Structure 1
């Protein structure tokens, strides 16, 4: 999942980004509405966490334009304006969810996970294939009943590959889903992460290299 945090309070924005990365959610930050709209054009975000009172282009206008021009991007409004009228107005602008400040961080994560599921074909929350069981909410991975300790990036890559249901994903796609905008597309980050992930999961390998296409989750033919 790729999330853009559009929040003018740098301390809150940084705290949210740090927390989301610990939850294996790739997150970037902008501090005004103009940069938020530009970022959505430049990057493939799944969700925008949007402060309503943004400088530059106001958050209400950002929400309206996203709903109109980028309907595939979900919007979660995160704002101090939390009355019933405020929430109704936010939904009328095109927001998909609305969370008043102050908020509890676990609730933000749960709401983001729920919004992510709306953009995907129906699938069981817990993924289980080829002897690997991945629970995205508990952030646990088991191989043949044995708990596997993974880094946040390794978990995110495995989750992305398993959701592809046997389809091959290129390094660029994995970068977009598991890393933030600062990731270097010309580095060997994906290759190293996949190599380490294979070793942690053990044999027989369940992540295959597809020449010219990238990687897929599944056993060798």
Structure 2
């Protein structure tokens, strides 16, 4: 069934998140740049052996009183250049996370990163691509800085001209800061995946996965990667 999920949101409905790395704490924040919509925070711990999750996306800011709700978690596949994104909250003991949670793979073969997502209400599955951009920026910025490698756009794989989201890094020396703009309203689940896959975009540069001869090199097993 080939259905259109939604039309791009009007400018007034676009969401802009201020992305900022939290010093050396191994995490980052997504705070509303404009408006009063939901903030999110991310914790990045020590990389686990195997594909156990070590990246956690939480609903709410880092300083929110009380417990935060985990909406997604991610680990690294040992035998391929990919992140494994769990669609839910793995329990802290990791006893059954592989059996109880559905997951999606994010292939991080350079220069593009691809991932897919089901839209059950439309009986539809779509594939998405994060790729570098030198020409497209968030609203309010004429053009991304050519000095920064971390400027990306998110498109549908079958429609590269449809810009679903864009990340523009801050100019200057603030490599861990920028603006994420989401151009479409395809539901909270899609939005959560955009946030998590953007974090994985940053992390993939911390863990080279292939040598020049194409041989797979597993990431270091321990240590914060962010």
- Per residue, is there more strand in 1 or in 2? 2
Return the TM-score normalized by structure 2: 0.24
When the two structures are superposed, what TM-score results if normalisation uses the length of structure 1?
0.25
Greater relative CO (CA pairs within 8 A, separation 6+): 2
Larger Rg: 1
More helix by percentage: 1
